[in-house]
Chain A
Amino acid sequence: MSNEILEGEYFLSGDAAAAEGAVAAGCKVFAGYPITPSSEVAEKLARRLPQVGGVFIQMEDELGSIAAILGASWGGKKSMTATSGPGFSLMMENYGLGMMTETPTVIVNVQRGGPSTGLPTLLGQGEFMQAKFGSHGVFEAIALAPESPQECFDFTIKAFNLAEKYRQPVVVLMDESTGHLFEKVRIPPEDEIEIINRKKPKEVPYPPFMPDDDLIPPMPIVGEGHQIHATGLTHDEYGRPTITAEAQEKYVKRLVEKIRKHADEIMDYEEVMTDDADVIVVAYGITARSARRAIIQAREKGIKAGLIRLKVVWPFPDKILQKYADKKFVVAEVNQGQALIMVERAIRKSATFVGKMGGEPHRPEEILKGIEEAYNANS
């Protein structure tokens, strides 16, 4: 039992739950570098992956870690790394290589306070934008933000599924508080867990970047006679470097469109008491837990408040926010206004912002104050 996929109820930290999620998703290669507060993900997988026939490598740095998981993915294995702010910054270049070469892999980023070394052991949510815009160039990111150890488990599996389905790196945007929080985690029986695997080409050799009608190319893997060529240069369907504006227009447009076209399927959010709400709070990760309390406190004070919790933060769910565009909005996050930009852009007006510099989660009262402010503001 302990040597295979776990099943049952366990008392796990978010980090450990993410590691178990990876095992359950079929991850067979982890390459990473220790960094607080994500090291527990690596530690757990160092023990667990060999038990399930996988490989754990502690690489020399984060640059090597992400390169190795891209290599492993082309070798046909599901792969993952886990890191935190400084390491996430180091990974940005090859995050882009993963986008450019359409390589499924998962990056768990347990966010801490920054900039720079910042608060290694304390909370931050400063990489909301970095997950989308951190690597140079044009691409559409997929990122998920769990609010509990249970979701760290569930969302890691989901991240693997999305990576495999859409053939690109997917970020699990955890945070220190969720990562270090211990709660009950239910690991369902194997047959209850939905696993999606990458599309396989129907012929050999298959051009590595030749898309189907859904804009997603089946993925040939190494050693099967496909004579794959993958490059970080702009390329054609065959992987041949093609350094022209026309090739860029065609290829990068498809990279963007393959996500935009499926954005509705990828988007995931939770609505709490939004039906009758006059004030909508938008939050994700650990902040959403404070917001849950804050909307109840607001209702106790007679303000009808609701919560839209972003489970998938990228692609950003413009549509759902627009549905409530006539309401008043509050955005709460542990930074100085990143999701805020996206919310205000979606609703085309200002929102009340309840930010923090980092180090600790919001107290519900802080968000409540924001709700009251929004409620009392002239509209």
Chain B
Amino acid sequence: MVTQTEIKKMLENGTSQVPHGEVYIVEERCKGCGLCIAFCPKHVLVQSDRINEKGYHPPELVEVPPTDICIGCGMCERICPDFAIFVKTDKDKEKKRD
């Protein structure tokens, strides 16, 4: 998750990068409520057809556009009521802002 201080620093230094996030899920905790999907500002997630062991449809990543659009904002993590989904940011995969 990118902190606000980090964002501020990037803006000040003119080195703003688009952060890259990787989404993770503890799948058996997911209840398929869809809040992560609805609240993701980059629309990275969709409901999958698969079912987990409790019979719910966990989210998956959209195929198109490409998967590297997650910016690691952590919204899905904070809005998930089930302690299932979370993101990690990957510094190496950050992109220069266009």
Chains A and B share a contact (CB less than 8 Å): no
- Spell out B's residues near A (CB within 8 Å): none
Question: Which residues in A have some Cβ–Cβ distance to B below 8 Å?
Answer: none
